[in-house]
Structure 1
């Protein structure tokens, strides 16, 4: 147990700050749509394919360098236009730009998202977060084992009685065991999205993990060069005709010659906010080349696709958002107090007499 306690304390002292940042930023992002105070953000969602097609046509005519459109959803009635070099814009559902930016630093929801997912350092930061997620899983398991031997002293406290090391350790131990299920869920689902080998272990009981993860790849389709004026209304109408019960969530323009126009849709039974039902259209004439129905994907794939909506509280309404808010705040509190006690309230070594 001494070795276990040593590993738990040292790892927590090193990784605790990253976990505290993840908890705080994750809590803020769970409620992103609620504090995105822009004109028309609270409008009723438009689901008519003709109206969506007209707005798409208007936006892409005004912004020919656009890379993609993230369409309005039930929680935010604004389309998000993504442009090169981090620029972008929000538009209402009629295709009128509400606000625009030249860098992610002009929009708090964008740089907070980057901090939460990449620590502002791209793929390297994402790897660090994945390692921190694995460490969080180890913390929950080892913390439960260490708590068990002193379970008779359990006292639930949201905050330590005093900011002394013994009081913080007691609060950390007892508060952590109560929050353990939520913390484990957050850590497992977050790490699944970063490390595919870990995700393969989690979804292995539901079928061949390799095939399940590969099934999420978009269908291969060869396209001609992008036409000067694609018929966006016809393309949007064809997408809705293929999946009548679905909402269009994302339209991505070709990045290089030969790439098709890609559309992602969310069918009614899907949890993933942007859906995994994908369509590929020929960039020359708008002809449908391939389509993938998310509800027909293997069971393991659908379990993997459920990780993000659970992690980011994109399913379950306000009740689940509040649950994940508790999880994020708990992670922030435990991580920050761990760093504080480890680096600034370490017990003094007794000098030999």
Structure 2
């Protein structure tokens, strides 16, 4: 083996050992979260679905907000999620850790969940921050960054000479387990490498501002500056939140869901995020005056640059949703396999680098 290949192999092995435990935690928690919507619909149908009564209109958002505030008066409302689907309940997130499900027709509180005990949100916390807050997020970001050279060095080590291509693409099922483990680590790692690369690059865009800025620079797109307007003086109006929602749905009737973020203080405004039911992550962002519900500013998909569009679809790339159900299954499988690669790679490294002590023989005669 050439000296260069030995160096590359050591870099590959040591990098894998350094970030291995982080990769396992992030990969397995990502697998748990990937199909959380489908699993929730099976586990909590009584919270998510409502029957649509005849000759009854939906309650206004203002009424729903009042019901949520009365039912859970310990904290204020952080976000209300309204679905375009008439059979879906309204989700109300309170500041802190509680989520309320409300029937939009009767105003009945269908149930309340503690978000800190929700297994899927716990999985999301592990996936993005290892459950350690901002410090964990930084660790996850740099571990994701380290995965890029890990993938590239793995491809370099795997790349076969012309006469061994057929063997390099096979996944053996029989033979000595050490050899089978090595072949699966090497060959199956190749099959999943392109998916890992996309997952890691999209994860880096979520983790690092400098990486996001690089995407804007490479595409020649102006860096987006989010404009957060200040509230203006106006006569307070009844039903102002519903007024803002009606404007949003009237301007963008094809959106599937609208998230209403409530002001955190008196110098903040309502922020509405209207999401479409497509794989491109398109959304409209509107800001409304908290006193009269008038539009103050909008950031619209039609005005997005190339980098803005890439950023919008970044989560769907990361989770495989860009490819629909087949894409999500591929992302799930590749992510799950990442945990195996860490374990199999660790076994291979120790087999090569940890020498067994020679046996001691007793020279005296028995």
TM-score above 0.5, yes or no: yes
**Contact 1:17 1:336 (8 Å CA) reproduced:** no
Q: Give the match for residue 261 of structure 1.
A: 270
Q: 1:204/1:330 Cα in 2 relative to 1: closer, same or farther (>3 Å)? A: farther
Instruction: Measure the CA separation in 1 of the matches of 2:303 and 2:207.
Output: 24
8 Å contact kept, 1:223–1:283: yes
Secondary structure of the residue that 1:327 maps to in structure 2?
helix
Contact 1:118 1:126 in 2 (8 A): yes
Matched, 1:35 2:54: no
Paired residues of 1:27 and 1:325 also in contact (CA < 8 A)? yes
Relative contact order, CA 8 A, sep 6+: which one is greater?
Answer: 1
Structure 1: distance between partners of 2:321 and 2:250: 26
C-alpha contact 2:229 2:297 (8 A) present in aligned 1 = yes
- 1:38-88 per-residue CA deviation (whole Å, 9 max, x = no partner) reads 134664999xxx966x263343112231111233477x9443321122222
Distance in 1 of aligned mates of 2:174 and 2:99 = 44
Q: Does 1:200 align with 2:213?
A: yes
Q: Residues 44 and 326 (structure 1 numbering): CA distance in 2 closer, same or farther, change over 3 Å?
A: farther
Residue pair 1:186, 1:327 contacting (<8 A) in 2 also:
no
- Whether the 8 Å contact between 1:159 and 1:171 is mirrored in structure 2 is no
Does residue 234 (structure 1) correspond to residue 243 (structure 2)? The answer is yes
Is 1:221 matched up with 2:226? no
Q: How does 1:302-313 map to 2 (within 5 A)?
A: 302-313=309-320
Q: Structure 1 residues 72, 188: CA separation in 2 closer, same or farther (over 3 Å shift)?
A: same
Deviations 1:259-308 (A, max 9, x none): 11110012466722xx4311111101111111111232111111122111
- Report deviation, 1:24: 1.6
Instruction: Report the aligned-residue RMSD.
Output: 3.2
Conserved? CA contact 1:230–1:284, under 8 Å: no
8 Å CA contact retained: 1:20, 1:334: no
Gaps of 5+ in 2: 70-75, 361-366
- 1:21 deviates by 1.9
Instruction: Point out the more displaced range, 121-130 or 310-319.
Output: 310-319
The 1:63–1:160 alpha-carbon spacing in structure 2 relative to 1, beyond 3 Å, is farther
Q: Using the alignment, how far apart are the partners of 2:306 and 2:115 within structure 1?
A: 39
| Partner Cα distance (1:121, 1:250) in 2 | 27
Q: Is the 8 A contact 1:19 1:132 kept in 2?
A: yes
The answer as to whether partners of 2:237 and 2:292 remain within 8 angstroms in 1 is: no
Cα separation, partners in 2 of 1:248 and 1:178, compared to 1, 3 Å:
closer
Structure with max Cα Rg:
2
2: distance between equivalents of 1:346 and 1:90?
Answer: 55
Question: Does residue 22 of structure 2 align to residue 18 of structure 1?
Answer: yes
1:319 corresponds, among 316, 321, 326, to 326
Unaligned runs of 5+ in 1: none
Q: What's 2:138 paired with?
A: 127
Residue in structure 1 matching 2:170, options 138, 148, 156:
156
Q: Which residue of 2 aligns with 1:331?
A: 338
Does the 8 Å CA contact 1:89/1:98 hold for their aligned counterparts? Answer: yes
Cα deviation for residue 190 of structure 1 reads 1.1
In the TM superposition, residue 179 of structure 1 has moved relative to its aligned partner by 0.8
Show the counterpart of 1:190.
203
Q: What is the CA distance between 1:126 and its match in structure 2?
A: 1.0
Q: 286-295 or 35-44: which moved more?
A: 35-44
SS at match of 1:172: helix
Describe the SS at the equivalent of 2:77.
Answer: coil
TM-score by length of 1: 0.84
CA 269–326 in structure 1, closer or farther in 2 if over 3 Å, else same: closer
Distance 2:98 2:331 in 1: 30
